[in-house]
Amino acid sequence: MMVIVVGCSYSVYTSGFSHLKSINVFVFENITTEYELEEMLDGILVDKFQNEARLKLINVDADCKIEGKILDYSKRILEYGEGNVDEYEVRILLDVTFTDLLNNEMIWQKKSLILSEKYSNSDVNEDESGDAMELIAKTEIEAQNRIFKALFEQIIKNSLEEW
């Protein structure tokens, strides 16, 4: 007897913390020499939480909080081409904590989260064979924005979503 199982894979999130209704996003401490990173990060996190709608963003008496530090910032050259730098990589090291204030419990903490993103000032978005490459950021600021949006996704995935 032969049994064939056919199925599809999909994911749906549920919250393991349904008692959490509001969040306070603290401005991350920035101990790097890249000034204004903390303001950019704060702006992105606030915007993402406002648009996310799972948790109401408030400053006083929130059910939970996000806080952290920007520990390190680096930019390195990945590729040269025709006398110019064609591609860079931005790396940001973060310390992030998500705390349930109602139960006085740390839900998620990552003391050394490294996120990175490539960027290229050139107009080349094809590899040597002429095939389209994954679109990379065009500027260092765009790369930073992508990193901070990825941080938001990491926070949600590791704190609010239960798979």
Longest alpha-carbon distance in the chain: 67
CA distance 150 to 122: 24
Provide the sign of the torsion angle of the four alpha carbons 90, 152, 50, 38, taken in this order: negative
pLDDT for 67 equals 97
Domains of the chain: 14-162 (3.40.50.10610)
Distance CA 97, CA 160 (A): 13
DSSP 83-115: TEEEEEEEEEEEEEEEEETTTTEEEEEEEEEEE
Given this model, what pLDDT does residue 126 score? 52
pLDDT at 80: 82
| pTM listed for this prediction | 0.81
Q: Where are the alpha helices (DSSP H) in 23-139?
A: 37-52
**Can you give the pLDDT at residue 163?**
45
pLDDT tens sequence for the chain (163 residues): 443 434 443 333 445 678 999 999 999 999 999 999 999 999 999 999 999 868 999 999 999 999 999 999 999 988 887 778 789 999 999 999 999 999 999 999 999 999 999 999 876 555 555 554 568 899 999 999 999 999 999 999 988 875 4
> What confidence score (pLDDT) does residue 4 get?
42
| Alpha-carbon radius of gyration of the chain | 20
